[in-house]
Amino acid sequence: MTEIQRHAAAAGFLHVLHNSKEVFDEWKSAKKDDYAALGKLIQKSVGLAETPTPADFHAMASYIDAHLKTEANAFAAAHPDVAHHVGSIGLMTQN
């Protein structure tokens, strides 16, 4: 994925998680270290041509940390029962 695609996928998936109960429920029950399953969920949810790789996940998390803190904090506030880490909230880390 290009850097622009990573940014768009991160922003788009965070938006979908916040607005789609079905995707949220699927994400919530998924293992956060299962890159293949999470990649397929992201791919399906935001209409990507390819499944994100682990490197894509890390780049997307960095983008969220640097540019989407308001959105990530809104998501965390709306879902206080979900373990999260800003930046990788919807992408890879479960604490």
Domain span at 61: 3-78
- Residue 88 domain-assigned (yes or no): no
This prediction's pTM: 0.81
Tell me what pLDDT residue 91 has: 52
Tell me what pLDDT residue 80 has: 83
**How would you write the pLDDT of the chain (95 residues) with one tens digit per residue?**
999 999 999 999 999 999 999 999 999 999 888 889 999 999 999 999 999 999 999 999 999 989 998 998 888 888 888 765 544 445 554 44
- Residue 89 domain-assigned (yes or no): no
Q: How many domains does the chain have?
A: 1
- Residue 67 domain-assigned (yes or no): yes
- Residue 94 domain-assigned (yes or no): no
User: By 3-state DSSP, what share of the chain in percent is helix, strand and coil, each rounded to 5?
Assistant: 65, 0, 35
Q: Is 5 within 8 Å of 58 (Cβ atoms)?
A: no
| Closest C-alpha to 52, from 12, 18, 95 | 12
- Residue 62 domain-assigned (yes or no): yes
- Residue 83 domain-assigned (yes or no): no
CA 38, CA 57: separation in Å to the nearest integer?
9
